[in-house]
């Protein structure tokens, strides 16, 4: 009976570790998603054309067509989309303080000091 309790405890520890790993993964995905949404908001404020935005999205999907082994596909797509958005010429042409000002105003989760 004691052996059975030890085995159950070990099983519960493994399940807890798996849950913690999944929680960390989801937290990383959530952070990347927030970054992507913030960039999309900035581009919307800059009146990016639907055509340009569509090209960015299609480029992202094309480059993520074949998932990388050992990498979460969802995170890979979000990361690639983030990189594509940050490379957008509209964002590059914005003065840094103006872009940061918009960022803090448009995202209620950002607190400026």
pLDDT in tens, 29-41: 999 999 999 999 9
Provide the domain limits for residue 23: 1-85
pLDDT at 104: 42
Strand (E) positions, the chain? none
Mean pLDDT over 41-60 rounds to 93
In contact, 103 and 38? CB cutoff 8 Å = yes
Number of domains in the chain: 1
Q: What is the mean pLDDT of residues 56-78?
A: 85
What is the structure's pLDDT at 84? 93
pLDDT tier, 66 (very low <50, low <70, confident <90, very high otherwise): confident
Considering only CA atoms, which of 11, 19, 53, 55 is closest in space to residue 36?
53
Higher pLDDT, 105 or 49: 49
- Say if 33 falls within a structural domain: yes
Higher pLDDT, 32 or 65: 32
Residue 62 domain-assigned?
A: yes
At 71 the pLDDT is: 65
Q: What is the mean pLDDT of the chain?
A: 83
Backbone φ and ψ of 47, nearest 5°: 60, 50
Average the pLDDT over 58-62 and give the result.
93
Residue 111 lies in a domain: no
**Residue 94 token pair:** 């914005």
Helix (DSSP H) and strand (DSSP E) numbers for the chain? 5, 0
Residue 101 lies in a domain: no
22 or 93: which carries more pLDDT confidence? 22
């Amino acid at each position: 009976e004691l052996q059975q309790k030890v085995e159950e405890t070990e099983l519960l520890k493994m399940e807890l570790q798996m849950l913690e790993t999944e929680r960390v993964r989801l937290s990383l995905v959530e952070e990347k998603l927030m970054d992507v949404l913030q960039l999309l908001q900035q581009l919307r404020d800059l009146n990016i054309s639907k055509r340009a935005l569509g090209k960015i999205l299609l480029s992202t999907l094309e480059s993520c067509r074949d998932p990388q082994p050992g990498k979460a596909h969802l995170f890979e797509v979000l990361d690639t989309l983030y990189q594509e958005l940050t490379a957008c010429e509209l964002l590059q042409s914005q003065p840094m303080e103006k872009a940061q000002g918009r960022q803090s105003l448009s995202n209620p989760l950002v607190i400026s000091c």
